[in-house]
Amino acid sequence: FCWSCLDQWLDRSGECPVCKAGVTRENVIPLYGRGDSEHHPVDPRKRPRSRPKGERPPVQPRRNWFGWGGSSEDSPGGAEFSVGAGFPFFPFVYAGYNTRQGPGVHMGVRRGGPEDSAQTASRFFLILAFILLWYSVFSKWLERPVVMVANSVEGCKHASLIETIMKDVYGDWSSESFPKPLPANEAGPGGVDGRQRRYLWTDAFGVLNFVTLSKCFPDRSDEFLGAARKLVRTVHQTLGTPRSPEFPMLPDPHHPSTFIGLRIGKLHACARSDPGMTYDGMYWHYIDKWLFALLRLHEATKSLEALDEAIRIVKGVHPHFCVPGRGVRWKVNVDMEPISGLGSARPNHDAETALIIYHLIDKLSPGVLEGEIDDLSGAVREYLDNAWRHVAGDPLGYGLIWWTNQFIQGRPAQLERQALIRAAPMALSPRHASSLPFRLYGGLLGAQLSGDHDIVRTSKHTLENLMPFEMATNCGDTDHSAIDKVMFAAALCPTEWMRKDSDPVLDE
């Protein structure tokens, strides 16, 4: 090999072109055809390689820039105009080079050289700049909350199964004994002579399930809405009154013979509740679900009874749960006293949910909760700035965040949504069904509100697979059977949990 050829080879490869051994310029030993190094004192490795002078064929005349026309001697053959990747939105990236076998703008010059690479890079960055500009202009539009419209046909796919589950848990709603008490291992005694057993969380989902059934079976709407109203009255008679004289509740000064708030109906009670979830008390994340159920019932019945009850409950409990400017206590004692060791109110998801519920009430009865909304707005704004950091793999909490995410907008909603999508595989894993199934059902319910095709599809598929597992037992056969079944039914058709077009959203 002459040195010029070998030098070029070493630019491309570190192997000998003959034996494939490693070779560098330093270990190449030049061989001279005649004489010795004294007659050839200049080592070719130290001599710059000569490079051929670039040549370019002369530009030949043509009829027009586009090259339309036949293949005569003075016109290139074939159409030479091509459309670049930006068509039709970015006309500056239209390509002008030849796409056929005929010569192009410069006759016979091959494309793909450094000039073309530079043009391609330039076009790419121009496209990128326009995309960023477009996004900055339309980002507010893109950040609008996802609004899902319930499909009455698809939503009622499991309507008959939901009805079967509700009868298993609550009994026949046409009978005088409706609603039958929940299992004795799931709810504490209460009501007249302590014969009822109600649990606020389970019954909130139950009311919403009855509203769902009223829409799945329009010809039986009055039947299901009547069952929902009767369940509401029973809950208020049971959980809206003291469990016993040992555990007094605070009388409502504005409504004689009533008390402030709703107990949750825990199995065990203590004069002073604990900072955990062992003893009965008032828990905000139970009360807010009940308030939401009352509002959906009001919208379905057009009766003011449910709305008035929701307003009465909020007016009574708000001063005890909320610390203006700071946030919401997640739990208080049944007499509305703060619980020792629980910590102070702070910006949290409970505060966000409270503000969402308050705005829903304000939409139905404008101005009635103006002061309560002002008390929470600052704390919720502070919480939303970092709400996405609170997304975790617990399925129930995961599902509830999807529920409230529908009611917020802007950057906080987008960041939270992205975090929820990332957490989906962990939060929606079927393994959660082996411990507390209702927590997984809550996650699957919320996931179906996400509007994300993959998450919704996975959730529905998981529910289908869990159906034999859940339906293998009856209410009362296992621990947590009532809450499991009611939440499973809710997850089968969560249309009442979806945000409606008329529902307000929280601004940034």
**Residues 395 and 462 sit within 8 Å (Cβ to Cβ):** no
229 residue type, one letter? R
CA 103, 108, 113, 114 torsion-angle sign: negative
Torsion sign over Cα 384, 390, 393, 398: negative
**Which element (helix H / strand E) includes 283?**
strand 282-283
pLDDT at 17: 58
CA distance 311 to 370: 12
CA pair distance 399, 319, nearest whole angstrom? 28
The pLDDT of residue 128: 76
- In this structure, are residues 354 and 288 in contact, taking their beta carbons and an 8 Å threshold? yes
The partner residues of 408 in beta bridges, in order of sequence, read 506
Of 218, 111, 88, 161, the closest CA to residue 490 belongs to 161
Question: What does the pLDDT read at residue 68?
Answer: 41
If DSSP states are collapsed to H, E and C, what string results for 456-495? Answer: HHHHHHHHHHHHHHHHCCCCCCCCCHHHHHHHHHHHHCCH
Crossing angle of helices 349-364 and 304-321, in 10° steps, is 140
The four Cα atoms 296, 300, 303, 307 give a dihedral, to 10 degrees, of 10
Per-residue pLDDT of 22-32, as tens digits, reads 566 666 666 55
How deeply is 483 buried, as exposed, middle or buried, from its count of CB atoms within 10 A (0-12, 13-18, 19+)? Answer: buried
Specify the CATH number of the domain 157-497.
Answer: 1.50.10.20
C-alpha 303, offset from chain centre: 33
User: What's the pLDDT score for residue 103?
Assistant: 45
Q: How far apart are CA 462 and CA 471, in angstroms?
A: 14
Token pair in block for residue 194: 């302590």
pLDDT under 70: residue ranges of the chain:
1-121, 130, 134-155, 508
Residue spans per domain, the chain: 1-52, 79-103+118-142, 157-497
Q: Which residues lie closer than 8 Å to 421 by C-beta, 6 or more apart? A: 450, 452, 455
Contact 201, 155 (CB under 8 A): no
What one-character DSSP code corresponds to residue 432? G
Helix pair angle (411-427, 395-405), 10° resolution: 150
Write the pLDDT tens digit of every residue in 314-359: 999 999 999 999 999 999 999 999 998 888 899 999 999 999 999 9
Q: Rounded distance, CA 17 to CA 281, Å?
A: 84
Instruction: Identify any residues that bridge with 82 across adjacent strands, giving them in sequence order.
Output: 95
User: In this structure, which long-range contacts are made by residues 62-70, counting pairs with CB atoms below 8 Å and at least 24 apart in sequence?
Assistant: 65/96, 65/105, 66/96, 67/98, 67/102, 67/104, 67/105
Residue type, 54: G
Predicted TM-score (pTM) of the model is 0.72
Phi/psi at 427 (5° precision): -70, -30
What's the N-to-C CA distance of the chain in angstroms?
73
- Cβ-based neighbours of 240, under 8 Å, separated by 6 or more: 258, 259, 261, 262, 263
Contact of 234 with 196, CB cutoff 8 Å:
yes
The strand pairing partners of 328, in sequence order, are 322, 346
